[in-house]
Amino acid sequence: MRRLAVAWAAAAVLLPSVASAQDDIVVPTQTQFNLYQEGAEAYAAEEYSKAVDLFRASLRLGELNITYLNLGRALFKLGDCQEASAAYAKALTAPKIANPTPMQVLTKVEEYKRDLTGCPATLTVECDDVTAQLWVDGTGPVPCDGAAMTVLPGDHKIEARLADEVRRESVALAAMESRTVPLLFRPGMVVGPAGPTPPVIAATNADQASRVRVGAAVALVATGSADVEVDSGEESSREQDTDESQYAINVFAGYRVTGGLVLGVGIWYLPSYKLVDEDQGETIGDATQLDANVVALYEFPVGALVPFVVLEGGFSSVEDDDNDTTHTGLNFGGGAGARFHFSETFAVGADVRFTRYDVGSSVDLASDFNFTGDETDFDISDFESTNVDFSVTGTRVLVNLGATLTF
């Protein structure tokens, strides 16, 4: 730096006019030179901020290649690589002085620009949920709130977590490069000024980022049994029957509240509700059953495969159309299964569920109840009153096959 400053001083003394014989070579004014010289002295004393101010003051009086060169170097020492690079670029196009020669200045520009390869880059990670936590190269967590981070040039690994969900991305940054990386937990969400960006998903299925679940299925009744009881208060009778309901239709709608937990509602409809007397092997009742349940699922996504466990319970109603009788009560159950996702929105699945229900009603056996037909084991004469409480407590195992849409 001092050699260049001294060489310029000699040139200023030897060249008496503002312009030399060469049209592209200029001579600075004395004020320009004085400001430049003070800047060079501040740089030598490692007072880089002062040097920047003096070089810029000199440039306001007239642009020169040597001033831009040394301004860039002072800015580099202050860590402002972007401004330093801009100053070096102007040193190549600004008016030139005779000594140092334009070639010498060009050589220094190329030398100083090589030092910029170690300058940091700027990385901005934007998540569509500001509660997500962010790790960069294993360091964290910090909020994924779109704040710019200064990182060294090279390869970097980014990871964002929201409850049980993980988004990962790798990015290679050059010196002084600025890059914005979106990590989405909601497909289709707009992040940043660039508008919609595709989701970046590495370890989990795209369905895991979805909130709403809507499904429909048909269940085959694998096994079932029921206890039927008639109780008049003083006398009661009980018999063991087989629940031979053949199939059920199941619809479900839910919302993922956090992590893998999904809460929703479900409807079970059994159009073939049937009880069979175990002793006589005869059908003793035909009806339909409708269950309206609260459902809780917990999902464990592994790529496109999403295993889950489920618990449910709610209101049950058995309609005996032949006798115009309704038996109501409660049910509860649970099971486990899995879905396989063919796309972000469509999946097919299967599960096995255990269900227990308890329904009943008060009826008049003599006048309006014929649920068990003529084949019933109950003898009405056994009861002092025909106004009795009728109840069925049943257990089923169902194999559920269906499809799910996620949004």
* Residues 13 and 159 occupy one common structural domain: no
CATH of the domain at 53: 1.25.40.10
Which of 236, 257, 122 minimizes the C-alpha distance to 179? 122
Is the pTM of the predicted complex or chain greater than 0.75?
no
* Residues 266 and 356 occupy one common structural domain: yes
Give the span between the Cα atoms of 191 and 200, in whole angstroms: 12
Give the span between the Cα atoms of 312 and 298, in whole angstroms: 12
- The last residue of one of the domains, among 174, 203, 232, is 203
Q: Which conformational region is residue 163 in: left (phi greater than 0), alpha (psi within -120 to 50 degrees), or beta? A: left
* Residues 130 and 166 occupy one common structural domain: yes
CATH of the domain at 244: 2.40.160.20
* Residues 113 and 140 occupy one common structural domain: no
* Residues 299 and 371 occupy one common structural domain: yes
* Residues 195 and 217 occupy one common structural domain: no
* Residues 145 and 35 occupy one common structural domain: no
* Residues 279 and 390 occupy one common structural domain: yes
70: exposed, middle or buried (Cβ count in 10 Å: 0-12, 13-18, 19+): buried
* Residues 95 and 133 occupy one common structural domain: no
- Cβ burial 322-349 (10 Å sphere, 16+ → b, else e): ebebebebebbbbbebbbebeebeebeb
Helix/strand/coil (H/E/C) assignment for every residue in 394-405: EEEEEEEEEEEE
DSSP letter string, 136-171: ETTEEEEE-EEEEEEE-SEEEEEEEEETTEEEEEEE
Give the span between the Cα atoms of 243 and 233, in whole angstroms: 26
* Residues 76 and 164 occupy one common structural domain: no
The amino acid that residue 71 corresponds to is L
Q: Structurally, how many domains does the chain consist of? A: 3
Strands 178-183 and 121-127: parallel
- The last residue of one of the domains, among 203, 230, 258, is 203
3: exposed, middle or buried (Cβ count in 10 Å: 0-12, 13-18, 19+): exposed
- The last residue of one of the domains, among 99, 117, 135, is 117
* Residues 222 and 160 occupy one common structural domain: no
Question: What kind and span of H or E run contains 368?
Answer: none
Tens-binned pLDDT, residue by residue, of the chain (407 aa): 444 443 443 333 323 333 333 447 888 899 999 999 999 999 999 999 999 999 999 999 999 999 999 999 999 999 899 899 999 999 999 999 988 899 999 999 999 989 888 888 889 999 988 889 999 998 989 999 889 988 888 899 999 999 888 999 999 988 888 899 998 887 654 444 444 444 443 334 434 446 788 888 888 887 878 888 777 666 677 778 888 888 899 999 999 887 788 999 999 998 888 877 766 655 656 788 989 999 998 888 776 788 999 999 999 988 877 667 788 999 989 999 998 888 778 889 999 998 999 998 877 655 555 544 444 445 555 555 567 777 889 899 999 998 888 87
Residue range(s) defining the domain that contains residue 93 = 2-117
In the numeric block, the tokens 């004393």 are attached to 45
CATH of the domain at 137: 2.60.40.1120
* Residues 160 and 263 occupy one common structural domain: no
Structure tokens at 338: 């899995």
Structure tokens at 30: 């004395």
Which of 214, 180, 182 minimizes the C-alpha distance to 196? 182
